[in-house]
């Protein structure tokens, strides 16, 4: 061991590598938090000050922006619509994806490989607005185009990522548990709901967070389905309508205030699902 390594305990390249890692993490943190700080600071400025871009912090704190954004967007109603849409689509997505993952993992049936291949293909092929018209026409035939249930069904159908997450968790559950339950007289469906589903709790928590965020941030589908019924608009659609006021002037400060308010439910959901993230991380490290 050379003299420099003996005195410092570690060679110089290790210190340089550690310094580079910390510098990268610090830069990533700054780039992540800076837009949030800008949004919060902008929501407390007047529109003239915000468009002028004179300083980061507001010269005069305009807390009334939040009350005005709440009033102009019918915030309580739109928040309820977004919550209903997100919660119902999350429950449906978790239930459908969990059942699909359980069947494909525990049973063999004709077309199984094709089904998994189609699920995988939807992760890499985004058709986006191309299928918007057929989806709307389908909901018109089902008489669901005038309610949020049409949007909920479409969001539930896009469950491929949730399916693969839960399929990965299912592989860690021994099949002997299923066999023991069936020996005791439990059927296939009862085994799933009574035994497997509770064991999937960490995976359901993580997948539920992603599904809730998807439903909460969805914009195009609620916009199309609520054009004829503004009372069903979600928060994302209502916030976009804040951009221009009655005088056709941009109201960026009110949009930022509404965006800050809309972030709060997502933070609550994240803290509720944080335990599932910790369990998933601990399980992966243990494995």
For the chain, give every domain's residue range: 3-43, 73-286
pLDDT band with cut points at 50, 70 and 90 for residue 18: confident
Question: For position 245, what pLDDT does the model report?
Answer: 56
Q: Is the pLDDT of residue 90 over 90?
A: yes
Is the model's pLDDT at 269 over the cut of 80?
A: no
Higher pLDDT, 285 or 86: 86
Q: What are the beta bridge partners of residue 250? A: 244
Reading the block at residue 2, the tokens are: 């050379």
| CA–CA dist 96, 158 (Å, integer) | 10
Q: Closest by alpha carbon to 264, among 47, 79, 91?
A: 79
**85 CB-near residues (< 8 Å, 6+ apart):** 148, 151, 152, 155, 215, 216, 218, 222, 234
CATH architecture of structural domain 73-286: Orthogonal Bundle (1.10)
So what's the pLDDT on residue 283? Answer: 43
91-147 pLDDT, tens per residue?
A: 999 999 999 999 998 888 898 899 999 888 888 776 667 788 888 888 989 888 888
Residue 88 has pLDDT above 90, yes or no: yes
- Tell whether the model's pLDDT for residue 205 goes beyond 90: no
Averaged over 217-229, what is the pLDDT? 87
Residue 277 pLDDT level (bands cut at 50, 70, 90): low
Please report the sign of the dihedral spanned by the C-alpha atoms of residue 12, residue 13, residue 17, residue 20: positive
């Amino acid at each position: 061991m050379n003299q420099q390594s003996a005195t410092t305990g570690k060679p110089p390249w290790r210190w340089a590598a550690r310094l580079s890692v910390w510098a990268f993490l610090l830069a990533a943190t700054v780039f992540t938090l800076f837009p949030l700080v800008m949004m919060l600071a902008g929501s407390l400025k007047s529109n003239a000050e915000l468009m002028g871009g004179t300083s980061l912090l507001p010269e005069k704190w305009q807390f009334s922006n939040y009350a005005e954004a709440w009033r102009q967007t019918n915030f309580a109603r739109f928040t309820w619509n977004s919550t209903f849409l997100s919660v119902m689509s999350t429950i449906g997505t978790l239930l459908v994806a969990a059942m699909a993952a359980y069947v494909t993992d525990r049973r063999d049936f004709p077309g199984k490989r094709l089904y998994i291949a189609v699920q995988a293909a939807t992760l890499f092929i985004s058709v986006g607005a191309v299928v918007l018209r057929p989806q709307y026409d389908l909901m018109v035939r089902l008489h669901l185009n005038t309610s949020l249930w049409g949007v909920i069904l479409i969001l539930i159908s896009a469950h491929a990522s949730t399916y693969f997450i839960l399929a990965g968790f299912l592989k860690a559950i021994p099949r002997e548990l299923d066999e023991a339950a069936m020996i005791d007289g439990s059927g296939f469906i009862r085994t799933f709901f009574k035994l497997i589903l509770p064991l999937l709790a960490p995976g359901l928590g993580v997948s539920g967070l992603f599904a809730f965020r998807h439903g909460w941030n969805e914009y195009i589908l609620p916009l199309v389905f609520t054009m004829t019924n503004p009372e069903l608009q979600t928060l994302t659609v209502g916030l976009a309508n804040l951009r221009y006021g009655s005088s056709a002037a941009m109201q960026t400060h009110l949009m930022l205030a509404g965006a800050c308010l809309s972030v709060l439910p997502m933070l609550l959901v994240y803290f509720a699902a944080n335990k599932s993230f910790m369990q998933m991380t601990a399980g992966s490290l243990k494995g």
